[in-house]
Amino acid sequence: MSATEATARTMSYREALREAIREGMQADERVFLTGEDVGAYGGSFGVSRGLLDEFGPERIRDTPLSEAAFVGAGIGAAMGGMRPIVEVMTVNFSLLALDQIVNNAATIPHMSGGQVQIPVVVRMTTGAGRQLAAQHSHSLEGWYAHVPGLKVLAPATVADARWMLGPALADPNPVIVFEHGSLYNREGEIGDTAGPAGDITRASIRRPGRDLTFVAYGQSVWTALEAAETLASEGVEAEVLDLRVLRPLDTDAVISSVTRTHRAVIIDEMWRTGSLAAEVSALITEQAFYELDAPVGRVCTQELPIPYAGHLEQAALPNTTRVLAAAREAVGGDG
C-alpha cells in the first residue's frame, strides 16, 4: 500500500474507539480496560471485541455489576500509577458510581494539596433515540461537566473517536468520555495522524456559516448538520460548532462564532432545565450580548422521562424539525 493510500481509511465510530484503545494499550503497559462485559462479551456496544484475545484477561478485565467498586478501583489504580480505561456501560448506570467520580476522582487531587494525580479515563454511552425507554436514555453530560476537577469529552465524529482517547490517557486528570449510543455505527474517514482531532481542549467548526451558529455536541452535531443542509437550500448559511470538550468549555470558540453570525441556537439532548445549553446560553449573554441580533435559542429534550414509543421519543428529542423551527425563529426576525 502506498503512502497516499494509507492516509485515509473508512471505519466506524466503534472501530475507531477500538483502535484507539488498542493503540493506548500497545503504547503503555500501564493502560488497561475494565468494566462490565468488556472481555468475553466484547463490550456491550462491541467496542472491545477481540481485545481480550489480543491482550488477555489481566488487561481486558471483566467486572461484576458493581459500578461503584470498579469505577472506584479504576480511580484507585490511577492513584497507584496505572492508566485505567473504565467502561461504564451507560451513563444511566454511572449514577451508581457517582460517589466515586464526584466525591473521590474530582476532589482528591485538590483536597490532597496536589499530592495525588488521578489519570483515569471513564468512558460511557449516553443519549436516547433507540427506543430503550427512560432508564436507558439519559443524557447527563452536564452533571459531570458541572464538577471542577473532571474533564469531560464528547467525541461526535469518527476521527474524534479515534484520536481523542490518546490525549485523554496522557492527561493527568480524570477524564470522562461520553459516546452517544447512536454514533457507534456511524462511518467516517480518518487519516493516519491525529491532526486537530488529537486535541482535547478546543471546539471545532464542522460547517462554516455566516447567518447563524448551531452549538452542539455528540449526536446533536449531526442533527445540526442535517438542519444546516436544509437551511442552506433556503439561503441561510448556518455554522455548526461542535463543542467536543464539555469541561472546560471552549468559551472563545463559542463567542467567536456568535460574534461572526450574531445568532445562536444551542442543541442539547439534556433536559432544558439546568442543561449544558443553559450554560452556553449564559456565556453568550455574558460575553457577546451586544453582538446578538436575536435571542439565543435552545433546543433540548422535552421535560419528561424518555418514552418508549418511537414517535413519542422522537418528539421529545431535539429533532431536526424542532431545530429548524428554532433556527427560522432566530433568523426570521429583523436581523
Q: Which residues are catalytic?
A: 67, 136
- Comparing CA positions, the residue from 127, 290, 154, 144 lying closest to residue 215 is 154
Comparing CB distances to another protein, the nearer of 69 and 325 is 69
Comparing CB distances to another protein, the nearer of 60 and 221 is 60
Sheet strands (E) in 171-244? 175-180, 187-190, 204-207, 212-216, 238-242
Q: How far is the CB of 84 from another protein (least distance, A)?
A: 8
| 293, three cell numbers | 441580533
Give me the residues paired with residue 61 across strands.
34
Count H helices, E strands: the chain? Answer: 15, 14
Using the rule CB under 8 A, which residue among 24, 119, 142, 209 binds another protein? 119
Q: Hey, which residues between 191 and 230 contact another protein (CB under 8 A)?
A: none
Q: How far is the CB of 167 from another protein (least distance, A)?
A: 11
Q: Which helix (H) or strand (E) holds 220?
A: helix 219-233
Q: How far is the CB of 31 from another protein (least distance, A)?
A: 11
Q: Hey, which residues between 153 and 192 contact another protein (CB under 8 A)?
A: 170-173
Parallel/antiparallel/unpaired status of strands 264-271 and 245-247: unpaired
- Residues 17, 159, 3, CA angle at the centre, nearest 5°? 105
Query: How far apart, in Å, are the Cα atoms of 118 and each of 66, 145, 176?
Result: 20, 17, 12
Cβ distance 211 to 331 under 8 Å? Answer: yes
Q: How far is the CB of 26 from another protein (least distance, A)?
A: 16
**Contact between 64 and another protein per CB under 8 A:** yes
- Interface with another protein (CB under 8 A), residue total 45
From residue 8 to residue 37, the character string flagging contacts with another protein as x (rule: CB under 8 A) and all else as - is ----------------------x-x-----
Interface contacts to another protein, rule CB under 8 A: 30, 32, 58, 63-64, 66, 68-84, 99-100, 103-104, 108-117, 119, 148-149, 151, 170-173
